[in-house]
């Protein structure tokens, strides 16, 4: 619950409630208490339960919530994952915002788990990217972790990722090496990743000092196997596959021996998990 996440929840509530929940105010008596159960309507992986709890707390601190199945759990259609008890008006007011967070984050966790399952038996780890919903990055990357994936860089500040667009003028290896050494001297905790779309670039980058990762951009599986062989017995730089990764290609990509596979679809194409709130007898 970082300050950023707290503000995001506040923004979501302001956006939804505005000047007040007129439906609940006029059609639900103020003294009515209610109990609701959060229901998963399709199989999936959970993420965002503590966010949903915080939504209800912010709407009305008299609401009591109980998590029945924790984040990262694989759930089945029909599972109840949270119990919510409190004034009916307040529960109804917080319902949609709580579900929006739960559905979005659980959808990402579920999609991530699917990709992770497809790499089982290999050394490859599934990574997310910066292709996230503006403002939601921290939460969406959290959801990737709950699905069994790993986080790539959080932003432009925690890893130097040198792509062809960064080399807009001619750079020889000496220029690149000098830039790496300057960065490492001034920001020793920042990792360096170089993008390669040809094997001769991989060969050249392997000779440089201070390179932590090499991104194999849109290479064929055969090219990636050769890149892994080029690295030989050394463990670094790590090799990351990127481009053309989907449900039908990731297994064979993982078998090439790469260390990481980045998948933008984990966040930019995840479908919200179908979750609802069912009111039950107290």
- Give the helix/strand (H/E) hosting 125: strand 125-127
Q: Is 238 exposed, middle or buried (0-12, 13-18, 19+ CB in 10 A)?
A: middle
Catalogue all structural domains in the chain, each as residue range(s) with its CATH number.
3-107+271-280 (3.90.1170.20), 116-268 (3.20.20.70)
Say what the pLDDT of residue 171 is.
67
In whole angstroms, give the CA distance from residue 7 to residue 209: 42
3-state secondary structure of 174: helix
For strands 64-67 and 44-45, give the pairing: unpaired
CA-closest candidate to residue 101, choices 62, 63, 53: 53
Say what the pLDDT of residue 167 is.
65
Query: What is the gyration radius of the CA atoms in the chain, in angstroms?
Result: 23
Say what the pLDDT of residue 172 is.
83
**pTM of structure:** 0.95
Say what the pLDDT of residue 150 is.
98
In whole angstroms, give the CA distance from residue 64 to residue 174: 62
User: Looking at the annotation, which residues are catalytic?
Assistant: 96, 131, 163, 195, 217
Structural tokens at position 198: 């040809």
In whole angstroms, give the CA distance from residue 247 to residue 233: 30
pLDDT per residue as tens, the chain (282 positions): 899 999 999 999 999 999 999 999 999 999 999 999 999 999 999 999 999 999 999 999 999 999 999 999 999 999 999 999 999 999 999 999 999 999 999 999 999 999 999 999 999 999 999 999 999 999 999 999 999 999 999 999 999 999 877 665 556 889 999 999 999 999 999 999 999 999 999 999 999 999 999 999 999 999 999 999 999 988 899 999 999 999 999 999 999 999 999 999 999 999 999 999 999 998
For strands 125-127 and 159-162, give the pairing: unpaired
């Amino acid at each position: 619950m970082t300050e950023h996440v707290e503000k995001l929840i506040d923004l979501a509530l302001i956006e939804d409630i505005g000047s007040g929940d007129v439906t609940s105010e006029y059609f639900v008596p103020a003294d009515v208490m209610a109990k609701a159960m959060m229901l998963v309507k399709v199989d999936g992986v959970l993420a965002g339960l503590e966010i949903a709890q915080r939504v209800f707390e912010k709407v009305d601190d008299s609401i009591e919530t109980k998590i029945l199945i924790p984040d990262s759990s694989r759930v089945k259609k029909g599972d109840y994952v949270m119990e919510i008890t409190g004034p009916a008006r307040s529960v109804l007011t917080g319902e949609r915002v709580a579900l929006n967070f739960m559905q979005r984050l659980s959808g990402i966790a579920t999609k991530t788990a699917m990709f992770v399952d497809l790499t089982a038996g290999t050394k490859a780890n599934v990574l997310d990217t910066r292709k996230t919903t503006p403002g939601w990055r921290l939460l969406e990357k959290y959801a990737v972790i709950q699905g069994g994936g790993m986080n790539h860089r959080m932003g432009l500040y925690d890893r130097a990722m040198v792509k062809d667009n960064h080399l807009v003028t001619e750079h020889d290896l000496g220029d690149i090496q000098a830039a790496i050494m300057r960065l490492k001297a001034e920001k020793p905790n920042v990792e360096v990743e170089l993008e390669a779309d040809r094997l001769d670039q991989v060969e050249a980058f392997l000779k440089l000092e201070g390179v932590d990762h090499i991104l194999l951009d849109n290479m064929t599986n055969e090219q990636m196997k050769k890149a892994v062989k080029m690295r030989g017995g050394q463990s670094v730089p790590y090799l990351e596959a990127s481009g053309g990764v989907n449900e039908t290609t990731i297994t064979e990509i993982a078998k090439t021996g790469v260390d990481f596979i980045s998948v933008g679809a984990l966040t930019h194409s995840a479908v919200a998990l179908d979750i609802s709130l069912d009111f039950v007898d107290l």
